[in-house]
């Protein structure tokens, strides 16, 4: 079929994320992807400044990941995980335990990031039920967060921002404290620490867990906060008998300059959620890791099993590619690449501060953000960045990038130029 025929069918039948049906904006038709570039049906090439929603950290058609996928497909693409197991999943679990903060011992492999959050929440709820404290079934988080689009994760997303307010009255009502003060390098505010302490102390008898995105609040607003707030949460939850969940679906695997954002704070949560970059953006897979204490508590319960089991849990293809992706991280220079990208974005985005509509410019690791004083005009922003040979996906009042780690200095420069142009016109 011709590109026009395909796009006509797309408009008629395909429901795209966060969009109406039928759609109002024609999608760009991608025919190939290689390195950091997307090739469109009309012949244009765009530098992907989004890493395909933050997942394709090694870029596209990476020979190591391609080889892992092909080799595994020649053996088996899938086998049920109930009662059966296989080497790719076993190796992946062992590697994740070795790489993540010390103390996380057990790995539940899930289908997607949102599902891993569902599993993490279920772990915490079932833990307290199993140890005889079933009244502890609420969750606490701070505003400005995003944890996924399935139901329990939606209940801990910002209750007013985004679309999840549509479900007020249907979702469980959780406990929210104000968003953490902004600034990765800004020392923790004692007044805010007192707010966290009071909330956890006053609600400890009903709180199953606190769940937060460490260091970077992603889709909720691309806000950075000081790691000291994570250390405070760890201390407070331990003192008051509340579990702690870190959602590192966006920050895991090097995005903030550390392999995991928790390392900035030097603490270990009770449960850790991973996804997105786990397979290098090739296939969907996520993981919820927990401590031995959490697993043992569930196993002591009246129902001594974790009541969750996705059909494609531990998928061999996904696990094999995830192992290859983690191997690239272990053997490569990802830290130097992320630091190089950070330096490039810091320098190249600085001129945005002189634009009258810009209220903030911030960079951390391979994340660059321009925040405007008004909502971004998506149509205008998309047109401008594609005219500059770049693919970005602005949202709310943000024009941001999370590029693949293999992006060259020239690629970073091109992305930044497109961001500046969009900020001036959108």
- The residues annotated as belonging to the active site are 18, 146, 247, 276
Contacts with 175 (C-beta within 8 Å, 6 or more apart), sequence order: 138, 139, 140, 141, 199, 203, 207
* Integer Cα distance of 397 and 221 in angstroms: 9
| SS3 (DSSP) at 96 | helix
Q: Is 221 left (phi over 0), alpha (psi -120 to 50) or beta?
A: left
Which residues on adjacent β-strands are paired with residue 26? Answer: none
Which residues on adjacent β-strands are paired with residue 38? Answer: 33, 46
b/e per residue 160-189 (b: at least 16 CB within 10 A): ebbebeeeeeebeebbbbebbbeebeeebe
Two tokens, residue 159: 């209750």
| SS3 (DSSP) at 311 | coil
Sort 222 into a burial class: Cβ within 10 Å, 0-12 / 13-18 / 19+.
buried
DSSP 388: T
* Integer Cα distance of 112 and 212 in angstroms: 18
């Amino acid at each position: 079929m011709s590109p026009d025929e395909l796009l006509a069918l797309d408009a008629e039948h395909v429901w795209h994320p966060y969009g109406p049906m039928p759609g109002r904006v024609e999608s760009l038709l991608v025919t190939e992807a290689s390195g950091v570039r997307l090739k469109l049906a009309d012949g244009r090439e765009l530098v992907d400044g989004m890493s395909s929603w933050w997942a394709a950290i090694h870029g596209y058609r990476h020979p190591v990941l391609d080889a892992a996928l092909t080799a595994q497909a020649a053996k088996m693409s899938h086998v049920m995980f109930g009662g059966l197991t296989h080497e790719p999943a076993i190796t992946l679990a062992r590697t994740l335990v070795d790489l993540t903060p010390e103390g996380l011992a057990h790995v539940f492999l899930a289908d997607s990031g949102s599902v891993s959050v569902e599993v993490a929440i279920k772990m915490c709820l079932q833990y307290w039920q199993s140890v005889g404290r079933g009244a502890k079934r609420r969750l606490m988080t701070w505003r400005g967060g995003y944890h996924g689009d399935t139901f329990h994760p939606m209940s801990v997303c910002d209750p007013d921002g985004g679309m999840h307010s549509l479900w007020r009255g249907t979702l469980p009502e959780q406990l929210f404290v104000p968003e953490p003060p902004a600034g990765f390098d800004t020392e923790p505010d004692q007044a805010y620490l007192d707010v966290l302490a009071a909330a956890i102390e006053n609600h400890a008898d009903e709180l199953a867990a606190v769940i937060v995105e460490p260091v970077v609040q992603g889709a909720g607003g691309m806000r950075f906060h000081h790691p000291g707030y994570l250390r405070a949460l760890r201390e407070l939850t331990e003192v008051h008998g509340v579990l702690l969940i870190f959602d590192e679906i966006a920050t895991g695997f090097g995005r903030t300059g550390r392999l995991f954002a928790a390392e900035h704070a030097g603490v270990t949560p009770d449960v850790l959620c991973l996804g997105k970059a786990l397979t290098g953006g090739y296939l969907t897979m996520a993981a919820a890791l927990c401590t031995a204490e959490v697993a043992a508590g569930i196993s002591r319960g009246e129902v001594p099993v974790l009541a969750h089991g996705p059909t494609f849990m531990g998928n061999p293809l996904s696990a094999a590619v995830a192992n290859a992706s983690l191997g690239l991280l272990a053997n490569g220079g990802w830290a130097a690449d992320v630091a190089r990208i950070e330096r490039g974005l810091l320098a190249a985005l600085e001129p945005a501060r002189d634009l009258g509509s810009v209220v903030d410019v911030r960079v951390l690791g391979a994340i660059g953000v321009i925040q405007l004083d008004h909502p971004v005009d998506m149509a205008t922003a998309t047109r401008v960045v594609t005219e500059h040979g770049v693919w970005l996906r602005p949202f709310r009042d943000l024009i941001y990038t999370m590029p693949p780690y293999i992006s060259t200095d020239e690629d970073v420069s091109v992305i930044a130029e497109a961001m500046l142009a969009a900020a001036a016109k959108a």
